[in-house]
Amino acid sequence: MIKVSAAAKILKAGGVVSFPTETVYGLGARADCDSGIREIYRLKGRPSFNPLILHGDSFEMLEEVVDIPPHYRQVLYAFWPGPLTAVFAKKNKSSVSKLATAGLSTVAVRIPQHPLALELLKAVGSPLVAPSANISGSMSPTQAVHVQSCFPDVPVLDGGACTVGLESTIIDLTGEVPQLLRPGGVSLEDLETAFKTSFQVRDPGTELPVTAPGQLKRHYAPDQPVRLNAGAKHAGEIWIGFGDVSGADLNLSPQGDLSEAAQNLFQTLRQAESFGVSIAVSSVPNHGIGAAINDRLQRASVPKGEGCE
Ligand code: TXA
Ligand code: MG
């Protein structure tokens, strides 16, 4: 475990550090640094066609890299810092590494809310790319120990357990109609209210062409099979409940609180995984952040061998 000043020093020198955000822990490198970014792809085993999210501490820092259309500024002020990522056109003269954007002409950017992430960005003084700090296709880390057990050689800035617990919502603001690419910490309902328009929603079952990356099918997956919408436990399973269910071994939120369930999701899946048996999960309401929980659960339930991110 390291301090912000030490983490900033490593990043400035082109290295990789894991840092906390309000959503999940990220594996960070400077956005203009090919060597650090190459190391991130290597560590994660991530395909080079899958671009990274760029993090800034302010609109000013993000605008070194992307053009934010003026009519979107005001509404984005309401969400940033926070668990929302927006895709914009890349500035012609931006210094962001082509490795980070996988050669695309767009960049996904966000301002994270965690105080240590903001402190780190200020100390480095330039944008950081950070995918979730897990091996591609496996569950995202919501505590420093999750990162340490996955990447023992990567220095980690410990900011405690992540409060949101699943990744940022990703929206594409490059077209005429805003598009939801990944459900996450900000709900579609809140976005549509704030943007005063309906979003185009990509069917989570469809895979995007390689030129417009997003998520592939199997992801966020424990080692064992996951069975969804379980109303009871089958023999030999471990059962993750939601709300007032009796007989569940673990529970995402006994009160049926969706924010609490999101916060507990990956940690609970990890706990269930440690039993080494098949995992059953209760149904979770699909509104608000429940849509993001169900997206992750659905991807976790895709059998091994089907494309993973
Ligand atoms: O909450 C989060 O967003 C976390 C924390 C660390 O900030 N990061 C995260 O990064 O979830 P990652 O790499 O695990 O997921 C990034 C997603 C990928 O699905 C990628 O394809 C998509 O963002 N993405 C990145 N750049 C894009 C772009 N220009 N257009 C469309 N999708 C993009
Ligand atoms: Mg990820």
Reported as a single tens digit per residue, the pLDDT across 20-48 is: 999 999 999 999 999 999 999 999 999 99
Per the structure block, which two tokens stand in for 225? 């099979």
Determine the pLDDT at residue 206. Answer: 56
The reply to whether ligand 1 has any atom less than 6 angstroms from the CB of 173 is no
| Residue whose structure tokens are 């429940």 | 290
Peptide bond just before 81 cis, omega within 30 deg: yes
Tens digit of each residue's pLDDT (9 = 90 or more) over 103-152: 999 999 999 999 999 999 999 999 999 999 999 989 999 999 999 999 99
Cα 140 to averaged position of ligand 2 atoms, centre (Å): 6
The reply to whether ligand 1 has any atom less than 6 angstroms from the CB of 130 is yes
The ligand 1 atom nearest the CA atom of 184: 1
Q: What is the Cα–Cα distance from 207 to 199, expressed in whole angstroms?
A: 18
Write the single-letter amino acid at 43.
L
The reply to whether ligand 1 has any atom less than 6 angstroms from the CB of 26 is yes
Cβ atoms of 237 and 249 closer than 8 Å:
no
Q: Taking residues 42-70, report their average pLDDT.
A: 96
Ligand at shortest distance from the CA of 184: 1
Determine the pLDDT at residue 20. Answer: 98
Give the residue, by CA position, lying nearest to ligand 1 atom 29.
Answer: 107
Determine the pLDDT at residue 1. Answer: 83
The reply to whether ligand 1 has any atom less than 6 angstroms from the CB of 104 is yes
Cα 5 to averaged position of ligand 2 atoms, centre (Å): 26
The ligand 1 atom nearest the CA atom of 133: 6
Determine the pLDDT at residue 217. Answer: 78
The reply to whether ligand 1 has any atom less than 6 angstroms from the CB of 51 is yes
Cβ atoms of 44 and 130 closer than 8 Å:
no
Going by C-beta distance under 8 Å and a sequence separation of 6 or more, which residues neighbour residue 298? Answer: 204, 228
Give the residue, by CA position, lying nearest to ligand 1 atom 10.
Answer: 131
The reply to whether ligand 1 has any atom less than 6 angstroms from the CB of 167 is yes
Give the residue, by CA position, lying nearest to ligand 1 atom 19.
Answer: 214
Taking phi over 0 as left and psi of -120 to 50 as alpha, with beta for the rest, 305 belongs to: left
Cβ atoms of 228 and 216 closer than 8 Å:
no
Tens digit of each residue's pLDDT (9 = 90 or more) over 207-254: 544 333 445 578 888 999 999 999 999 999 999 999 999 999 999 999
| Residue whose structure tokens are 């980690």 | 156
Q: Is the pLDDT of residue 61 over 90?
A: yes
DSSP 137: T
| Ligand 1 pocket, mutate which of 121, 162, 167 (most atoms under 8 A from CB) | 167
| Ligand 1 pocket, mutate which of 132, 157, 179 (most atoms under 8 A from CB) | 132
**Integer CA distances (angstroms), 97 to 34, 100, 124, in order:** 6, 5, 17
Give the residue, by CA position, lying nearest to ligand 1 atom 13.
Answer: 131
Determine the pLDDT at residue 216. Answer: 57
Determine the pLDDT at residue 209. Answer: 40
| Residue whose structure tokens are 């997003």 | 214
pLDDT band for 190, please (50, 70, 90 cuts).
Answer: very high
Q: Number of helices and strands (H, E) in the chain?
A: 10, 13
- Widest distance between CA atoms in the chain: 60
Tens digit of each residue's pLDDT (9 = 90 or more) over 259-283: 999 999 999 999 999 999 999 999 9
Provide the pairing of β-strand 84-89 with 106-110: antiparallel
Mean pLDDT, the chain, rounded, equals 93
Determine the pLDDT at residue 212. Answer: 35
Total residue count of the chain as it appears in this document = 309
pLDDT band for 304, please (50, 70, 90 cuts).
Answer: confident
Cα 139 to averaged position of ligand 2 atoms, centre (Å): 8
Ligand at shortest distance from the CA of 169: 1
The reply to whether ligand 1 has any atom less than 6 angstroms from the CB of 226 is no
Cα 252 to averaged position of ligand 1 atoms, centre (Å): 25
pTM to 2 decimals? 0.95
